[in-house]
Amino acid sequence: QESAPETSPNPTAGGVGSRLSQRETELLGHLAQGVAYKEAADLMGVSVDTVRTFVRRIYEKLQVHTRHAAVAWFHEANGRQQ
């Protein structure tokens, strides 16, 4: 029995970012701290390939093409300065 993917509470409820899963949001937080994919994978207990899949989905959902743009969105959504 599969359950629907969980989404995290998000300051942009109803917006683009509200579609990020908890794991995608967690990964984006790591990326915003400058963590490399391998380290993020280790911290999250997943493979580097899974991290790459999460990154691809994050980019698609946020409609961005770079890590810098995704991190900028993260900071803006969380009310932080870059």
pLDDT in tens, 23-62: 999 999 999 999 999 999 999 999 999 999 999 999 999 9
Query: Quick check: 81 pLDDT over 60?
Result: no
pTM check: above 0.95: no
Handedness of CA 11, 13, 17, 22 (dihedral sign): positive
Cβ–Cβ < 8 Å for 43, 7: no
- Residues 44 and 26: their CA atoms lie apart, in Å, by 8
**3-state helix vs strand vs coil in the chain, percent to 5:** 60, 0, 40
